Amino acid sequence: MANTKVIAVANQKGGVGKSTTVFNLGAGLAMDGKSVLLVDVDPQGDLTKMLGQRKPHDLPLTLGNVMNDIVANVPREGYPEIMHHGEGFDFVPANRSLTAVEIGLVNAFSRETVLRQYLTDVKDKYDYVLLDCRPSLGMLVINALSAADYVLIPVQADYLAAEDMTELIGTVQNVQQHINPKLKVGGAFLTMSNDTNFRKDIVKSVKENFGKYLPVLQTVIPSTVRLAEISTADKSIFRHEPRGRAADSYRSLVKEVTDIGNKQRSKSTLSR
């Protein structure tokens, strides 16, 4: 499929809602008729568990197998690692085997682009590919950024988390300069927000401190009990509580992400 958009959802800080965002964003895009692939790039397998695979470490085929085969130049037939979710999107699961892959990448040829090599083969079937990054700035995250068209940065609604973005922005800039010049920052957006007034202060703070480096999206994801429950509910917020605040916020994020993708597609069409 022409003009597939590959989006890395990244923040080296854990617990900011990356997996939750990838799940709900993927489900929302699928509801809008988009063809979507989610890729779990985290050895913890949190996204994989959310998608109904409660024992990811028992899965016979995961992203770890795929990346190992690419590093070893093992010929592959088809894509048996790709699973289908009942909400209309596909996904590639992950488990702790990815930890060994990350260690092995240190000595691998083209170590920063192994994931990109895989996605180059599979992405043509999809409008969007969403990469759920682990909470670090290690080689797996570098691989995700190297494969991505742009990165989305979920930021927990407190000042300390906003300050933590500096290191991630530096990593993105290094990847842009040395590995993936087409990489863009789609934007940062706030998650786990409880207080409306405090939220406004944080949005203002993020814009003031990082506005010259990256756009700040309008969407703010609230902290709700229903949203926390989807980690064990095996369904997105759109099915778990379709009329709640969290579902409305993720609908807003889907629209913003779609707008970003459409603008980038228009630019690529005009530049031909």
What average pLDDT values come out for the chain (272 residues) when binned by 10 residues? 88 88 97 97 96 94 95 91 97 96 86 95 95 93 96 79 75 94 91 69 74 82 89 92 94 94 62 48
DSSP conformational letter for 12:
S
In this structure, which amino acid lies at residue 23? F
User: What are the E-state strand segments in 102-214?
Assistant: 128-133, 150-156, 184-193
Asked if residue 130 lies in contact with residue 37, where contact means CB atoms within 8 angstroms, the answer is: yes
Q: What pTM value is reported for the model? A: 0.92
Q: Is the dihedral of CA 110, 113, 114, 119 positive or negative?
A: negative
What does each C-alpha distance from 229 to 35, 74, 198, 217 come to in angstroms?
26, 40, 24, 25
**What does the alpha-carbon distance between residue 50 and residue 53 come to, in Å, rounded to a whole number?**
7
Query: What pLDDT score was predicted for residue 195?
Result: 63
CA distance 86 to 42: 22
Cα(132)–Cα(113) distance, integer angstroms: 16
* DSSP-derived pairing of the beta strands 36-41 and 90-92: parallel
In the chain, the domains with their CATH numbers are: 5-265 (3.40.50.300)
What's the rounded Cα separation, in Å, for the pair 171 and 164?
12
Q: In a 3-state reduction of DSSP, which class is residue 106?
A: coil
Contact, 118 vs 124, CB < 8 A?
no
pLDDT at 207: 74
Predicted local confidence at residue 270, as pLDDT: 46
Confidence (pLDDT) at 66: 95
Return the residue matching tokens 């980038």: 264
Q: pLDDT value at position 196?
A: 59
> Per the structure block, which two tokens stand in for 129?
């590919």
Looking at residue 49, its pLDDT comes to: 96
